[in-house]
Amino acid sequence: MSSNALHVPVMLQRCLDMLAPALARPGAVVVDCTLGLGGHSEALLRTFPEARLVALDRDPAALKLSGERLAPYGDRATLVHAVYDELPEVLARLGVPRVQGILFDLGVSSMQLDEAERGFAYAQDAPLDMRMDQTTGISAAEVLNTYPPGDLVRILRTYGEEKFARKIVDAVVRERAKEPFRNSARLVELIREALPQAAKRTGGNPAKRTFQALRIEVNGELAVLERAIPAAVAALAVGGRIAVLSYHSLEDRLVKHVLAAGAETTAPPGLPVVPERYQPRLKLLTRGAELPTEEEIAENRRAAPARLRGAERIREEVAP
């Protein structure tokens, strides 16, 4: 299976344009924190021939496929098996103190969605796994079968924004007592039966929110992101740029908060002159979040929920 055939990178040209001013100079280092199948990474290497790429992914299968795809670029590309909140350790190991560009594409990779045995997709029956790195951690089935009901309700409400979390969890608890959950089809069927009729008529597959919530819990996605975005901002050189693609409101809110905080003054109110150490560290590159065009959504339906935010590092930290 060719990685190119599987993968249309989301908002690719807009990401390249956003990072371009920081990557045109020789010796620039750009980090792709979510390598996936390498679509964005390949475009970065092709578009910025002077740049060096460091790319992270927690999924060994993705690293193998994208490694083949990026092989023609030789030692300009360094691929690392790591979760993106490990960025500071990865850069320290490589002896790279600061970088000029950072890209996050927080969507589940096409490969994970399309390969049934990974258990991410609710449209086909598969083992309930959902781990992005299948060598570690607990599966979605273990979460469903072992978590206390209160924790399951919290996860569905918080990570899936699921209004009917209590109804779904009551049904899960009833069913898991008879037989543990193993496969996705049984869970999808249970959700369909648990939801009121009106809820099934809107918003696509009724299992979508529950599957999103389980995936976020299994992979610790929001906790990882909460650590990763500030670490990425800290790794940027002055003039360096960060671009982040989010796919649901929880991620987008978190990214917005970190970037907006960096773009504000931290001075106590009422100072006649704001000292250097209180000046903003970031300049926002997007007004709100940018959305994909209608043409792009027509070409790649997975782009539909994407939200792009970016910022430029304009100042070093100054010790108080």
Tell me the C-alpha to C-alpha distance, in Å, between residue 95 and each of 90, 101, 239.
9, 16, 20
| pLDDT, position 166 | 97
Q: Are 101 and 28 in contact, with CB atoms under 8 Å apart?
A: yes
Contact 307, 289 (CB under 8 A): yes
> Whole-model pTM?
0.85
Task: Give pLDDT, residue 293.
Answer: 94
Q: Which residue has the tokens 């008529």?
A: 201
The predicted pLDDT at position 72 comes to 97
Structural tokens at position 213: 């919530």
DSSP readout, 170-236? HHHHHHHHHS---BHHHHHHHHHHHS-GGGGGSSS-TTHHHHHHHHHHHHTHHHHHHHHHHHHHHHE
Task: Give the span between the Cα atoms of 5 and 9, in whole angstroms.
Answer: 11
| Residue among 293, 294, 313, 302 nearest 13 (CA) | 293
CA–CA gap between residue 294 and residue 257 (Å, rounded): 27
DSSP letters of 76-120? GEEEEE--GGGHHHHHHHHT---EEEEEEE-SPPHHHHH-GGG--
Cα separation of 306 and 105, whole Å?
Answer: 9
Residue 245 · residue 310 · CB < 8 Å: no
52 - beta bridge partners?
29
List the pLDDT tens digit at each of the 320 positions of the chain. 333 434 678 999 999 999 999 998 889 999 999 998 899 999 999 999 999 999 999 888 889 999 999 999 999 999 999 999 999 999 999 999 999 999 999 976 544 454 555 445 666 678 898 887 877 889 999 999 999 999 999 999 999 999 999 999 999 999 999 999 999 999 999 999 998 876 665 666 788 889 989 999 998 889 999 999 999 999 999 999 999 999 988 999 999 999 999 999 888 888 888 888 888 999 999 999 999 999 999 988 888 999 999 999 999 876 55
Residues 192, 194: Cα–Cα separation, whole Å: 6
54 has which bridge partners?
31, 78
